[in-house]
Amino acid sequence: MYDTGMMIGHFEPLHLGQMRSILAAAGQAKSLHIVITTHPSPHPDFDITLQDKARWLQMACAELPFIHIHTTDEIALPLHEDFSDITIDIAATNAKLQRLTEALSLSKDTVLFIADNHPLAQSNTQALLLMPIVTTPLQPDFNSYAIALDPVAHWSAIHPQARRDYTKTVAIVGGESSGKTTLVHKLANYYGASFVLEMGRLYVGTDLGGKEIGLQYSDYAPIALNHAQAIREATAVATAPVTIIDTDFVTTQAFCEEYEGRTSPFVSSCIDEFRLDHTIMLDNNTPWVADGMRSLGNPEARGRFEQRLLDIFFRHDIQPHVIDKPDYDARYQQALTFIDQHIYGKKLKTQ
């Protein structure tokens, strides 16, 4: 058992193979320090910060007090597809290790944990290093390079604490009786995805006794706040690379303007601050069905509300993907095509 150990990595994304290596190292040291570095080639589709990665590891290791998390953007680690043709710069490596041990106030007896196929683990290299090397078992089922290159394709390998930052939110919006909620459930079932229900409808049931007669301007802020919390909770336990959202903050604002005749600054802030990744807007060209809570059923009202949605999207620089097929199954197929292309990276089939 070593007194102090250190591991260094990008952890972008944190995956189960890395966690298993961390646990293997933790079993050999009384105190393990994990140093998170910036990724030299971050994935363009995901905006991941050092703080994000620190949170993943801090949460994953919250009940393991002997593991300590650190971040640094001063030490650049190269990214390798494999280790077969890597040349180690001993002087540069020792300089980095020296800076780290000093910055973290680690003892001179600290050991560096690395995978047992890493070039630093070679006997002729170890003798020249400032810090003793201890290897951890290989994790052949997890390829860090491949996972970083295509996190969506390796979703099951991503650690649960990191998945919230690798799922993309897709809002399904439209006027009343446009088939939003049914489409949400169909998409969630197809992808095995987490989903968020329409918060305004839930709020009417929980806070207004099931009828909109008591709805007023002051209700729109808590509706938006509840929606933001519901989205946060759904993405925190994301079960797929896509999370489906029934309506959005723009829709809440549209109803506020429609019923109250004014814009809610709070809801406007939610539109900008809790930005969703994609928006699918359903055209109001399906039959209107009364359900006891809908009131915008005539063609004029439906057209006015649809235009209001488009105006608010434009106001906040959001470009929704419009689905205009009146057939419900055709809408479903169009939504699948959009998600497959924009989230799962599947190319459209050519005739």
Task: Note whether 213 and 283 are same-domain residues.
Answer: yes
Do 222 and 270 meet the contact criterion of CB atoms below 8 Å apart?
A: no
Residue 168: strand pairing partners: 242
Sequence-distant (≥ 6) Cβ neighbours of residue 129 within 8 angstroms: 90, 93, 94, 97, 112, 120
Q: 102, 131, 156: which is the final residue of a domain?
A: 156
Please give the structure tokens belonging to residue 256: 């506020």
Amino acid at 317: D
Residue 319 has pLDDT above 50, yes or no: yes
Angle at 291 between CA 228 and CA 174, to 5 degrees: 45
Looking at the domain assignment, is residue 27 inside a domain? yes
DSSP 285: -
Conformation bin of residue 65: beta by default, left when phi > 0, alpha when psi is -120 to 50: alpha
Task: Note whether 119 and 194 are same-domain residues.
Answer: no
Distance from C-alpha of 215 to C-alpha of 225, rounded to nearest angstrom: 16
The three-state secondary structure class of 93 is helix
**Percentage of the chain surpassing pLDDT 70?**
90
Query: pLDDT tens digit string along 255-304?
Result: 999 999 999 999 999 999 999 999 999 987 765 555 554 455 566 777 88
Do 184 and 244 meet the contact criterion of CB atoms below 8 Å apart?
A: yes
Residue 89 has pLDDT above 90, yes or no: no
Output the CA torsion 157→159→165→170 (10° steps). Answer: 60
Looking at the domain assignment, is residue 280 inside a domain? yes
Residue 302: strand pairing partners: none
Looking at the domain assignment, is residue 350 inside a domain? no
Looking at the domain assignment, is residue 162 inside a domain? no
Average pLDDT, the chain: 90
Up-side HSE of residue 143: CA atoms within 13 Å toward CB?
A: 10
Task: Note whether 179 and 250 are same-domain residues.
Answer: yes
Higher pLDDT among residues 229 and 120, named by residue: 229
Task: Note whether 292 and 176 are same-domain residues.
Answer: yes
Q: 107, 123, 156: which is the final residue of a domain?
A: 156
Q: 133, 156, 179: which is the final residue of a domain?
A: 156
Do 15 and 141 meet the contact criterion of CB atoms below 8 Å apart?
A: no
Task: Note whether 178 and 313 are same-domain residues.
Answer: yes
Reference 113, options 42, 18, 12, 16; nearest CA is 18
Task: Note whether 304 and 252 are same-domain residues.
Answer: yes
Do 151 and 166 meet the contact criterion of CB atoms below 8 Å apart?
A: yes
Angle at 244 between CA 242 and CA 245, to 5 degrees: 140
DSSP for 200-235 reads HHHHHHHHSTT-GGG--GGGHHHHHHHHHHHHHHHH
Task: Note whether 176 and 76 are same-domain residues.
Answer: no
Give the range of the structural domain holding residue 299, as residue numbers without chain letter: 167-342
Query: pLDDT tens digit string along 31-56?
Result: 999 999 999 889 999 999 999 999 99
Task: Note whether 192 and 288 are same-domain residues.
Answer: yes
Looking at the domain assignment, is residue 106 inside a domain? yes
Residue 79 has pLDDT above 80, yes or no: no
The Cβ of residue 145 has, within 10 Å, a number of other Cβ atoms equal to: 10
Distance from C-alpha of 112 to C-alpha of 33, rounded to nearest angstrom: 10
Query: pLDDT tens digit string along 149-203?
Result: 999 999 999 999 999 999 999 999 987 767 889 999 999 999 999 999 999 989 9
Sign of CA dihedral 180, 182, 188, 191: negative
Query: pLDDT tens digit string along 197-247?
Result: 999 989 999 999 988 889 999 999 999 999 999 999 999 999 999 999 999
Residue holding tokens 């971050």?
Answer: 42
The model carries a pTM of: 0.89
Looking at the domain assignment, is residue 279 inside a domain? yes
CATH number of the domain to which 151 belongs: 3.40.50.620
Distances (CA, A) of 166 to 107, 169, 187: 37, 10, 18
CATH number of the domain to which 309 belongs: 3.40.50.300
Distance from C-alpha of 263 to C-alpha of 253, rounded to nearest angstrom: 7
Q: How many domains does the chain have?
A: 2
Mean pLDDT computed over 68-94: 77
Task: Note whether 126 and 198 are same-domain residues.
Answer: no
Distance from C-alpha of 347 to C-alpha of 345, rounded to nearest angstrom: 6
